[in-house]
Amino acid sequence: MKRLALLAVVVATPSLAQQQAAPAPGDAAPIASPAVSAPVPPAGGTPALSPNLLPTPVAKPSDDAGGTDASPTADAYGAFQRGYYLSALRIAEPLANLGDPAAQTLLGEIYGRGLGVPRDELESARWYGVAAKAGVPEAQFRYAMLLIEGRAVPRDDATARDLMKAAADAGNPLAAYNYGQMLIRAAPTGGFAEAAGYFRKAADSGLADAQYALSQLYAYGRGFDKPDDGQARKWLDEAAKGGSDTAQIELGIWLINGRGGEKDPVEGFRWLKGAAERGNPIAVNRMAHLYKDGVGTARDREKAAMWAVLARRASNSDATLDKWFAALPTDEQKAALEAANRSPTG
């Protein structure tokens, strides 16, 4: 499956576990964060442009003083947002042929997603292309992605970069996030400062993946004078609340270890448990350790053993966990296997 941004940029930094301070005598050892890269694009295909990311049609003056009437393009968007895709297409097509960039962008979306009509990437690319030339940021972003992928149009990285920057500078958050990655890829040792500004634009708009990417730059001092764990944790929290699975796992670990702020093992446990219940292998492993050691929750050997089984099934166990599980009585091992079989994540 393709991802939102095809420019996976690896930040060459040590893992978070390597940066943890040694525990004081009597303290529980900090749990290791997952090895992560920044930025990490979300899984799945390029998401549909939501109504607030599509261009706003210009209203026409009303005959009544002080009022406005919806333009024909606004009628097309209204039909689109209500799910009447064929009506939207019927209204938008003649307007697009007359050069209306908003209507052209809408046709790109309809044909690209196959809404009410068979999916037609060539037709979608054609309309996104003409709207991009007209300066519509949303179309510039879409067409840039097609140029990067070489899908429906010949691959053209230079033009894609120019269009992505134009869309980012015009305020499109998806373009800002992707352009930040382009900057790092183009200058892996010096592109972080400029990239951070674009990630911040996208993060301020609520884009969870940009918030996570920004947290990583703060955590490792990339693009800033020095690392800032407080800012990193703030953006991890935003990204976690926005649904970033990676951020939820890392925030949980930071809360448990007290990195970037006060320790809060109970809240950290909650974030990790949610991710584990959705089947994330890293979180599954951490749940076994948290129940085993009683961190953020009551110690529970039965639950720890069940999560240990699930971690092994997810190919994400470890030597400590394997040794602990092997030392359990046979009846407890059997019960753990049965509990794992009943688990939704099993």
Q: What would the pLDDT profile of 277-309 be if each residue is shown by its tens digit?
A: 999 999 999 999 999 999 999 999 999 999 999
Res 60 pLDDT > 60: no
The single-letter DSSP state of residue 134 is: T
Q: What would the pLDDT profile of 76-120 be if each residue is shown by its tens digit?
A: 999 999 999 999 999 999 999 999 999 999 999 999 999 999 999
Rounded to two decimals, what is the model's pTM? Answer: 0.79
Mean pLDDT of 32-42: 40
Residues 277/344, Cβ–Cβ less than 8 Å? yes
Distance CA 224, CA 247 (A): 20
Position 266, amino acid: V
Half-sphere exposure in the Cβ direction for 1 (13 Å, CA): 9
Distance CA 191, CA 342 (A): 48
Q: What would the pLDDT profile of 248-282 be if each residue is shown by its tens digit?
A: 999 999 999 999 999 999 999 999 999 999 999 99
Predicted confidence band at 30 (pLDDT cuts at 50, 70, 90)? low
- Which single residue is written with the structure tokens 């939704």? 344
Torsions phi, psi of 287, nearest 5?
-65, -40
Half-sphere exposure in the Cβ direction for 117 (13 Å, CA): 18
Strand partners, 68: 61
